[in-house]
């Protein structure tokens, strides 16, 4: 048989420590959530660039994050932005034509990571005083006006079911991992 004895001083100290650590738990949770939102921001660029021919940085730049606090306990990740010019995806040719060479037969483009597909009547050109380069198509039979061609917007790409599921899993595991870390930190700080 084993017998354990505790002193009143130790019991009072334990109660004091658990009260102080209980007050710290909400802080640990919102810190873990905020860290998870940062991770989702990073991973959203990677996940989207696995499926689409777009740079991860272009996806990350469209993210806005609402950080959680002890009062709100809600973190939010939002992707904003309009359609991305087709030229930012993969195109062939990928620069305006040299006037000394014959024009290419057809412009090919790939938005997703599949093969290039022909875009009838499209061409790459440099337009305007600023020298904007893009993929264009004539609006009618005449030489001008021309219209720029666009691919999907970042919120549409992130909204794909596969991407959202992966980001949800990443957020869940990150919150669990960070919450464990934050609680261990609180306990070590309290001397437990």
How many CB atoms are closer than 10 A to CB 2?
3
* Residue-level pLDDT at 183: 85
d(CA 125, CA 83) in angstroms, rounded, equals 19
Note the pLDDT of residue 14: 56
d(C-alpha 104, C-alpha 169), whole Å? 45
What pLDDT, on a 0 to 100 scale, did the predictor assign at position 9? Answer: 55
State both tokens at 100.
Answer: 């000394």
**CA atoms within a 13 Å half-sphere pointing along the CA-CB vector of 40:** 31
Q: How many whole angstroms separate alpha carbon 171 and alpha carbon 177?
A: 10
- Per the confidence metrics, is the pTM higher than 0.95? no
Contacts of 68 (CB under 8 A, 6+ apart): 30, 33, 34, 37, 74, 75
Residue 191 pLDDT: 63
Q: Answer yes or no: are the C-beta atoms of 107 and 148 closer than 8 Å.
A: no
CA dihedral 69, 75, 80, 86 (to 10 degrees): 130
Are 136 and 73 spatial neighbours (Cβ–Cβ below 8 Å)? no
Q: What is the dihedral of CA 88, 93, 94, 97, to 10 degrees?
A: -130
For each of the chain's 192 residues, which pLDDT tens digit applies?
334 444 555 546 656 666 666 777 888 888 999 999 999 999 999 999 999 999 999 999 999 999 988 888 888 999 999 999 999 999 999 999 888 888 888 999 999 998 899 999 999 999 989 999 999 999 999 999 999 999 999 999 999 999 999 999 999 999 999 989 988 888 787 666
Residue with the two structure tokens 């921001």: 41
Calculate Rg over the CA atoms of the chain: 27
CA distance linking residue 58 with residue 116, whole number of Å = 21
């Amino acid at each position: 048989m084993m017998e354990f004895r505790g002193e009143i001083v130790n019991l009072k100290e334990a109660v004091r420590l658990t009260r102080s650590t209980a007050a710290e738990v909400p802080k640990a949770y919102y810190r873990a959530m905020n860290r998870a939102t940062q991770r989702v921001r990073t991973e959203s660029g990677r996940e989207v660039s696995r499926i689409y021919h777009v740079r991860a940085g272009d996806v990350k730049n469209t993210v806005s994050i609402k950080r959680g606090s002890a009062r709100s306990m809600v973190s939010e990740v939002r992707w904003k932005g309009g359609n991305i010019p087709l030229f930012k995806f993969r195109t062939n040719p990928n620069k305006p034509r040299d006037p000394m060479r014959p024009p290419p037969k057809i412009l090919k483009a790939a938005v997703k990571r599949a093969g290039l597909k022909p875009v009838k009547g499209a061409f790459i050109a440099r337009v305007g005083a600023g020298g904007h380069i893009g993929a264009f198509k004539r609006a009618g039979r005449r030489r001008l006006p021309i219209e720029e061609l666009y691919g999907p917007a970042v919120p549409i790409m992130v909204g794909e079911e596969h991407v959202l599921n992966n980001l949800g899993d990443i957020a869940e595991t990150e919150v669990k991992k960070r919450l464990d870390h934050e609680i261990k930190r609180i306990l070590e700080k309290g001397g437990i």
